[in-house]
Structure 1
Amino acid sequence: MNDKPKQKISRLPPRPDLEWGEDGVPRDQINDDVYFSVSNGLEETREVFFRGCGLPERWQGQGDFTIAELGFGTGLNIVALIKLWREYRPSQKAKLHVVSFEGRLMHVDSARSALKAWSELAEEAEILLSNWPERARGVQRLDLGNGMSLILHQDEILPALQNAKFEADAWFLDGFSPAKNPAMWSSDVMMQVGRHSSEGALIGTYTVAGHVRRSLSEAGFEVSKQPGFGKKRERLEAIFKGKPANLEKEADPLLLDCQEAAPQSVAIVGAGIMGACLAHAFKQRGCDVRVLDQANSVEEGASANPLGLVAPRLDGADTPQARLLIDAYLAARRFYRQFPDHAWFVDVEHFANSETEEQRQRRVIEDPPFDDGLLGVLLNGEGLKYKGGVAVKPADLRKQLLSNIEVEWGVSVSDLNDIDADLVILASGLGIKHLTSPEGVPLRGRGGQLEYANTSVSALARSKGHYIVGADETLVFGATYEDCENDVPELSQSAREKNIKAVAEIAPEINVSDLELQSRTAVRAVTNDQLPIVGRVPDFEKYKKMYGEDLRTGRRLNTGRAPYQKGVYVAGGLGSRGLTWAPFLAQYIAAEIFDEPLPTGRGGRELLSPARFYMRTLKRAKKE
């Protein structure tokens, strides 16, 4: 019996332990292997992976093409792929999706040193290096331009593959050698490669190890040896012939995994930050986009506050919820970086406002999810510093996002059948429950008042229940938080006094009496678990018939196709974190609808599911 305790895995992914040879080739000392061929890493990439996968010929005539890679490493394969795509992109509408997996992300400076060996890739290398992912477990999406995106999964390889959602047309198997990094080449990993492959997918890899060939064959691939590159006598190519019976998946009523034809026209109900980000994402994909909103202009609603703050909510343990929150926050930082006229990076000082939060912060400090580039500890351990939060002017940003979109103001939607579009996305806050099902999509209103003024204070951001943020000669602080079913609460002096009292505690250097204060109120839609409701809308009556009895009695669920409302999606319940959630959720919905690789793991997808609350209701229901 082995009583040795299981080693705890740190939330922060490890870095590689690098040794640099005189030839400039980095070697990982943990696996005792080089990152690329000492003879010519670039030519090895082109021979083993590009030619092995039939590129660029195989993506000609294709609208979308997906490549997956085991082993991100220095990013050399991606950089070379950027160049190949820019030279041979089939059309201006064609998209290339790359999904890569890495357990020990290299620091950007180390990657820069490794990639400088190829001057012919300098321009492409800078594209990747300027978008280099953050060190954090989870999933990050990088837009590399020209219709090319990169989804990077940082985690142990097997759980990362199990949690991912994509189908690859080609694979670069580029981990360290099987003898020195066996976990990357296990039979379970190769089975996941098969699970994530489309019919006819090709594999290129430098290894010909016998157990790798056998595992690929068991996963549905036809394997052949080919002449090797450099000193290697042989390499492998493989073609996917079809999923074995043990790879067939069961239908999941939470995830509603049902593929419809990609829409040509999209109608978005709601022009807040969620609707604006959705319009932007679908316009990028070539859709005819129309936005409908009952407000009279972009200056109304919660998404018209003078200034908003984007900061992470860090949980004290590595859970699916914690990773989802991190995925969303990092996506928001990357998104707002594109709009320097409307968004500014600010360090956020976050103080605990309860004993529970103090305990959570201590756990974060003891086992941080970010390195010191994004996370610090305030003096005397009084709280956390989020380095590089974002101050955003929502109304100005929304104006830019909607500038080339057809927007119909003053329109109140009461019947989805009145909307002429291939796809309708409900992003109208509390209005969502009136267009779906209040029981199936439970949303509650939370009203609040904030104060704002013109001021010279800038680069200020603090929070302790309430928050204060200053940027671009604007100062905002608040906000109160109260139950509110539908109507926007009236402005009140008592709410202002609460906000002033709070700012006196977290920013005593601000003399509020010197400011010409103005107030705003708004209502935010929230869910019971404080997470958004995002995705395809279930057909709730059919759900009850199909799953109600099984959920109530605890039996195995019917594995038939989960019923849903065709052509209707929802994106709501963002609460007070709309600026943080919206950029990520817009890409998430667009990726799901266009069958692109998803920018979060399975656990995160389940937490966002619009079916989750109704399934809980059915589980608790008594037999009639």
Structure 2
Amino acid sequence: MSDDRLHAEIEWREDGQPLSRAFDDVYFSGGSSPQEGLEETRYVFLQQNRLPERFAALADGDVFTIGETGFGTGLNFLAARDLWRQSAPTGARLHFVSVEKFPLHRGDLERALALWPQLQPLAGQLLEQYPPFCARGVHRLQFGPVSLTLAIGEASEAFAGLRLGDNHRDRNVDAWFLDGFAPAKNPAMWTPALFENIAALSQPGATFATFTCAGIVKRGLKGAGFALQKVPGFGRKREMLRGRLKETGEPRIASTPWHLPSGSKSPSPLERGAGGEGEPKAQSIAIIGAGIAGATTARALAERGHRVTVFEQGPGPAAGASGNDQGILYAKLSPKPGPNGDFNLHALMFAQRYYRRQCPQSVHLDGLLQLAQSGKETGLQGQIDDLLQQHGARALAQRVDAAGASEIAGLPLEFGGLYFPQAGWLEPRRVCAALLEHENIELRCNTRIESLEHGKDGWQLHGTPAGNAEPQLGKALVEPARAHPDAELGLGVPGGSFRADTVIICTANAIRRFPQTAALPLRPIRGQVSGAVATDYSRRLQTALCGEGYLIPGASGHQSFGASFKLKDTDTALRDREHRENLETLAALLPEMAAEFAAQPLTGRAALRAATPDYLPMAGPVPDWDSIASTYAELRKNRKFLIPQRAHYQPNLFVLGGLGSRGFTYAPLAAELLAAWVGGEVLPVPVELAKALHPARFAVRDLGKNR
């Protein structure tokens, strides 16, 4: 079988069931009807893993993780989610981790899910969030208290890509669904490497169930440390296997673990509750900064049940670079694999789903045109369009010529480009405020955190008041404030010392103001956006435009365009010359509109973006920089040298920053990654991408270059 296929090749049988042409095997069995397929899933995977009892025994705050080989039609996921909503307490969370080498096209998935009307509306919600481009890598889908991590790729490699290399940190899975095509049809999947990775991702005592009793599966599971038991199979199948992990070993160190803090524990203070290691421990988490980085991080952690206090030196959310009247949601795609292109792609798809779920009233995701204003950009977009067509992913973006772009925009354009039907623009301040409206979030504005100090009781944040520093709790963004439960700890004293178990710094360029994070190589980039009163002509614009500049449709009679890009310029005063530059950029797209705007007084706002040297954000734990330099000093002689030791890290100190000019696109996925670091969860990105976003990457690269 050739592995150059990108999606499943489906043959629909007369009885309406899907069959894989490549493997000549059915996606689910069960005899005469699809309903028996659902009953088989419930018997084999739910019952034999004792999930009804285990779900019911969970407590609020517990997390239960299921791992699966072969996502297929999503039947097992939907059956597990259906059981979860019936059995689990409302305060618990389910994490479902599945791998799939050949994902179904959306049309085939829709046809398959229609076979089980009893699984509606869950099936419809899966279809709504199903990625428009099932690219290789990890896709994180959210369904309230249920998360689906769908890793696209060969099974053992996809599971290996979720391993950070920490024996405590990686062991999340409580139960396994070992599904997929029969070993006789697909022996390439059932390899020793697959079972090794399954064991490495398993909690001690994790259970498994599988429909098969094939020798290759039994040998693989035994070799990986699982105890096996044969039990009666479903329907006409005589036997199946179930069992439990009885032996765990230390992972083999294959690469220098510079990304992992020293010690055998997770880098997080947050304790798991579902894996038999005790009740979850309540934590106080402090986030410095209430822009889009801080707001998305606070929301991700609050939804996991943690108490979060957000400190903002300005008078309200999004007081810095996140505070423009309008912003666009876009990404720079690449036809070639690599960290920048991969993160841009997955961040865009995640953000589109995220904002529709979290704050639909503050976003306008009804389309965006990314125009090609040069021959180089035209060629690049052609390659991207070819890739999207090859994957059947034109629901994400499609190439249009100048006439097509003009029709979409509602105004005459001289350039074609890529049209993103699910992208668009948003209202930044309303977005940040909406994300911070949660019962577990306290927002403290006009409070500047001056320094951080770690001691035996955790972190002390020393702050100074700026104006009215009254707390705002959850919906207190629009309602009267109330006291925070940690007030007796000094957390509610304006200008005093604030205590927290975990601290996350999300202050853009001001990240470098703290000694613990001063070494991070952030670069300020001034950006001035211009605003004008909409005219009869400009109101015809129907979609957001971006190219060498950007233009956003009118909101309340006002339109934003720009923005300037000034490296190392830290002045935030408005400048007439940059208004003129923005008008010149606009004139290259729509000269009539630019002339109308030039005839009126312009408004505007200037702020500082924070960018990294590689233009990828930073999301992760903060190291002790001296320890990094000494522990990995040998990298100066050979950057590929394997050093098994770990460096010391700042205890429970994290950072999210360096979002550059795509903050609203990057922040949701970066925050989800940070929440996984903090909580010791399964990553929402492959480990190599997590390393590419790691705050320590710059220091390690410098060592490799002997700087």
The normalised TM-score by structure 1 is 0.92
SS at match of 1:566: strand
1:344 pairs with one of 347, 351, 364: 364
SS at match of 2:596: helix
**Percent of matched pairs sharing the same residue:** 35
Structure 1 segment 55-204 matched on structure 2, within 5 A:
55-59=51-55, 60-61=57-58, 63-89=62-88, 91-137=89-135, 138-145=137-144, 147-165=145-163, 166=170, 167-204=172-209
SS at match of 2:95: strand
Please give the alpha-carbon distance, in whole angstroms, between the structure 2 residues aligned to 1:310 and 1:379.
22
2:336 is the counterpart of 1:317:
yes
The normalised TM-score by structure 2 is 0.82
Please give the alpha-carbon distance, in whole angstroms, between the structure 1 residues aligned to 2:543 and 2:661.
19
Q: Which amino acid aligns with 1:394?
A: P
Q: Which amino acid aligns with 1:583?
A: P
Shift of 1:193: 1.4
1:206 pairs with one of 208, 211, 234: 211
1:563 pairs with one of 628, 648, 669: 648
2:413 is the counterpart of 1:421:
no
2:619 is the counterpart of 1:534:
yes
2:529 aligns with 450
1:51 aligns with 47
Please give the alpha-carbon distance, in whole angstroms, between the structure 2 residues aligned to 1:562 and 1:99.
30
Q: Which amino acid aligns with 2:702?
A: T
Please give the alpha-carbon distance, in whole angstroms, between the structure 2 residues aligned to 1:583 and 1:197.
27
Query: Deviation digits for residues 527-569 of structure 1, max 9, x if unmatched?
Result: 1111111110000111122112444454734322331000210
SS at match of 1:181: coil
Pair 1:192–1:352, CA change in 2 (3 A): same
1:232 aligns with 237
Pair 1:508–1:238, CA change in 2 (3 A): farther
Pair 1:471–1:201, CA change in 2 (3 A): farther
1:545 aligns with 630
SS at match of 2:222: helix
Please give the alpha-carbon distance, in whole angstroms, between the structure 1 residues aligned to 2:312 and 2:392.
38
Please give the alpha-carbon distance, in whole angstroms, between the structure 2 residues aligned to 1:379 and 1:564.
52
Report the more deviating stretch, 380-389 or 129-138. Answer: 380-389
2:489 aligns with none
Please give the alpha-carbon distance, in whole angstroms, between the structure 1 residues aligned to 2:227 and 2:304.
35
Please give the alpha-carbon distance, in whole angstroms, between the structure 2 residues aligned to 1:248 and 1:232.
41
Q: Which amino acid aligns with 1:452?
A: G
Shift of 1:247: 4.8
Query: Deviation digits for residues 176-212 of structure 1, max 9, x if unmatched?
Result: 1112222222222222212221211111111111111
Please give the alpha-carbon distance, in whole angstroms, between the structure 1 residues aligned to 2:54 and 2:326.
48
Report the more deviating stretch, 93-102 or 373-382. Answer: 373-382
Q: Which amino acid aligns with 1:158?
A: S
2:563 is the counterpart of 1:479:
yes
Please give the alpha-carbon distance, in whole angstroms, between the structure 2 residues aligned to 1:115 and 1:7.
27
1:3 aligns with none
What is the RMSD of the two structures over their aligned residues, measured on CA atoms?
2.4
2:428 is the counterpart of 1:394:
yes
SS at match of 1:101: strand
2:25 pairs with one of 26, 33, 36: 33
SS at match of 1:433: helix
Shift of 1:290: 1.1
Shift of 1:294: 1.8
1:430 aligns with 509
Structure 1 segment 215-226 matched on structure 2, within 5 A:
215-226=220-231
SS at match of 1:477: strand
Shift of 1:498: 1.0
Q: Which amino acid aligns with 1:478?
A: G
Q: Which amino acid aligns with 2:384?
A: V
SS at match of 2:450: coil
Shift of 1:480: 0.6
1:499 aligns with 582
Pair 1:158–1:354, CA change in 2 (3 A): farther
Query: Deviation digits for residues 322-364 of structure 1, max 9, x if unmatched?
Result: 2222121111001111222110113322234555544433432
SS at match of 2:704: helix
Please give the alpha-carbon distance, in whole angstroms, between the structure 2 residues aligned to 1:370 and 1:432.
41
For structure 1, the 5+ residue unaligned runs are: 1-5
Please give the alpha-carbon distance, in whole angstroms, between the structure 1 residues aligned to 2:252 and 2:112.
38
Please give the alpha-carbon distance, in whole angstroms, between the structure 1 residues aligned to 2:2 and 2:371.
32
Q: Which amino acid aligns with 2:551?
A: I
Pair 1:487–1:256, CA change in 2 (3 A): farther
Shift of 1:518: 1.2
Query: Is 1:190–1:216's contact at 8 Å kept on the other side of the alignment?
Result: yes
Please give the alpha-carbon distance, in whole angstroms, between the structure 1 residues aligned to 2:670 and 2:639.
32
2:481 aligns with none
Report the more deviating stretch, 192-201 or 108-117. Answer: 108-117
2:675 is the counterpart of 1:590:
yes
Please give the alpha-carbon distance, in whole angstroms, between the structure 2 residues aligned to 1:178 and 1:290.
51
Report the more deviating stretch, 80-89 or 557-566. Answer: 557-566
Pair 1:408–1:132, CA change in 2 (3 A): same
Pair 1:175–1:511, CA change in 2 (3 A): same
Report the more deviating stretch, 421-430 or 16-25. Answer: 16-25
Query: Is 1:551–1:557's contact at 8 Å kept on the other side of the alignment?
Result: no
SS at match of 1:67: strand
For structure 2, the 5+ residue unaligned runs are: 164-169, 271-281, 403-414, 454-459, 462-498
Size of the aligned set, in residue pairs, is 611
Query: Is 1:270–1:292's contact at 8 Å kept on the other side of the alignment?
Result: yes
